[in-house]
Amino acid sequence: TQLLEQSPQFLSIQEGENLTVYCNSSSVFSSLQWYRQEPGEGPVLLVTVVTGGEVKKLKRLTFQFGDARKDSSLHITAAQPGDTGLYLCAGGRIQGAQKLVFGQGTRLTINP
């Protein structure tokens, strides 16, 4: 069974600080997606990384896929209150690639 573990599960920091959220597995994934989910709503896709070592930037958010494609990180620079939310990572399998395996999420709170 493939599992994705996110850390930390909860993070509360002050506006302007930097933070990193981690997504780790012992399994190799063909791709890794990061989503943001608001209460009572569906996951909204932020980015997909597919190549080991790949780095993608989305404004103040930097996403990285590990070289071995087993882990990923999300780094936010100068966090804003608008970044508050639940961040989910989800991995696509090497074979039968239609199924996403989700992490449990990191609940991020940015305090003004």
Residue 98 near another protein by CB under 8 A? yes
Q: Least distance in Å: CB of 36 to another protein? A: 11
Instruction: Between 36 and 79, name the residue whose CB sits nearer to another protein.
Output: 36
Binders of another protein among residues 34 to 93 (CB under 8 A) are: 35, 40-45, 48, 50, 88, 90, 92-93
Q: How many residues bind another protein (CB under 8 A)?
A: 26
Query: How does strand 10-14 pair with strand 106-111?
Result: parallel
Determine the Cα–Cα distance for residues 39 and 57; give it in Å rounded to an integer.
25
Q: Which of 48, 37, 38 is nearest to 100 (CA)?
A: 48
| Nearest residue (CB) to another protein, 68 versus 97 | 97
Match 């087993």 to its residue by tokens: 70
**Which residue, 16 or 52, is less far from another protein as judged by CB?**
52
Of 88, 95, 107, 75, the closest CA to residue 32 belongs to 88
Structure tokens at 110: 């940015």
Q: Please give the DSSP secondary-structure letter assigned to residue 103.
A: -
Give the binding site for another protein (CB under 8 A): 30-31, 33, 35, 40-45, 48, 50, 88, 90, 92-93, 96-105
